[in-house]
A and B are shown apart, each in its own frame.
Chain A
């Protein structure tokens, strides 16, 4: 399964494509289960890049764990949570608050 991720142009914050927009957390990201859905996400990403909404657009591997979407690779897990050494920073901190 794949999800679409990028960084928002204005502040550089990591975002994931979910429900027609760019969400600040990965949990509810739109999942692509097949090639057609991947192509569709890719097209959305290309358009958002061209429209100067986001930068560094990527389709990444994801899985569903306990009903929420999680990236597979460590790099993407860290992007989705924040630095592992600073639980007080990044998405993990916002979630805890």
Chain B
């Protein structure tokens, strides 16, 4: 009995409670998505894929899903194309205003997304351009760039300069050195950065609410819209799909990068 009430078992209990608090709502969403009834309550009266089928037949949601996938993928691609050279410049070269510029590129993390959303919108208005998919893409690149920069810079600092110097003394020019040495060693960070960018873009609501048009809805914005009318169990199914996606993609990528990057420290 004394053992049971020792400090450690209290900490264990506390930890379990924290996890329950964190994950219970998510688990509830997943379980309720298989509930055949319109209004979810426990205990469930059966098990069905009814809402998944309905989801698959909902064109506007599928459209939003397609939008989200395209937007997330393009954001990931674009942001690494911009972020990797920028990180290289910040870590490997000296130039005036380097620290100021680096801080500037990282500020989107610190600025509230509402402010960012409104600011970009006003900027577009000032340029007298309509809201468009391009606006969404630019916005998401701005939001995700700091994450890519941070991840890639951290890795780059860990890649010793000597690898590149050895390649150069052996006859590789700057481009070959990057392609043959720096890029492969940087790959895990680049993949991680792309994943960050994709997931952040995929589930961003606040800023995207300002930038999306009726035609360019993303999944989170769509869910937000659906919630205003009614709470349909479809949302549970959609939520479950999104959870599966955002959890499995990074896990898969982590597995793949471990599988394929044989060296690297």
Q: Do A and B come from one complex?
A: no
Listed in ascending order, the chain B residues whose CB lies under 8 Å from chain A are none
